[in-house]
Amino acid sequence: MADVCFKFLVSGRVQGVWYRDSTRRQAEQLGIIGSAVNLPDGRVEVIACGESQAVEQLACWLHQGPPAAKVTAVTSESIAIAPPTGFSIG
């Protein structure tokens, strides 16, 4: 069961640079479930549910992303949802 769930909105050059798949791999290594989805405005929305410390580690990683990404901002908010199963990208 997830301790916390957060929604992150990541801005910058984050589409077309393997950001979502890299996020999925990071999340799975940390035992986080959720999703990473491209938004029409060029941002990526990440839903991350898991242990507080693991979600904090992912949050730090989101500010950097994969090598080709150029993250300019990350916003976050705690959300109350039924945790998803696994981690999906869309």
Detail the DSSP E strand segments found in the chain: 4-13, 33-38, 44-50, 70-78, 87-89
38 is catalytic: yes
Q: Which residues does 86 contact at the CB level (< 8 Å), separation at least 6?
A: 33
20 is catalytic: yes
Catalytic residue among 13, 20, 25, 43: 20
What whole-number distance in Å separates Cα of residue 20 and Cα of residue 34?
Answer: 12
Catalytic residue among 13, 24, 25, 38: 38
Residues labelled catalytic: 20, 38
